[in-house]
Amino acid sequence: MPKRIPEETKQRAIRLGLDHRDEYPNLTAACDSVAKRLGFGAESLRRWVRQTEVDAGARQGTTSSESERTRRLERENRELREANAILRDAAVFFAGELDPRRR
């Protein structure tokens, strides 16, 4: 199970990555340096920084709120499909039970 990084630590790391970005040739190098000092994965920090930029409108991509909305709608869609399958099966069952030719 992956370790959970406290939100406060994550936000601090993102700020450091953004603040020190200009001191390095690219975002990956900045994130490598900051992540080593804080003791967690550079790729995680790079993804967090990029997502923060997307959420702020500084970079193109899917915002966190759009992603959450999509996940919620997909979950709702899946639940409705399951409910429809149950109702369809129940309708078939009861139609058979009520069929006068069955008696």
**Global confidence as pTM:** 0.73
Residues 82 and 96 in one domain: yes
Q: Which has the closest alpha carbon to 10: 56, 54, 41, 53?
A: 41
Residues 51 and 77 in one domain: no
d(CA 76, CA 93): 26
Using left for φ > 0, alpha for ψ between -120 and 50, and beta otherwise, residue 39 falls in: left
The structure tokens listed for 65 are 């709120």
Instruction: Name, in order, each residue with C-beta under 8 angstroms of 98's C-beta and a sequence gap of 6 or more.
Output: none
Dihedral sign of CA atoms 43, 44, 49, 55 in order: positive
Residues 70 and 57 in one domain: no
**pLDDT (0 to 100) of residue 73:** 98
Point out the residues of the chain with pLDDT beneath 70.
Answer: 1-2, 103
The structure tokens listed for 49 are 């920084």
Residues 67 and 102 in one domain: yes
**pLDDT (0 to 100) of residue 99:** 77
Residue with tokens 């406290």: 6
Task: Show the domain range for 88.
Answer: 63-103
**pLDDT (0 to 100) of residue 103:** 60
pLDDT tens-place string over residues 62-86: 999 999 999 999 999 999 999 999 9
For the chain, the domain total comes to: 2
Residues 3 and 47 in one domain: yes
Residues 55 and 67 in one domain: no
Residues 52 and 14 in one domain: yes
Residues 6 and 21 in one domain: yes
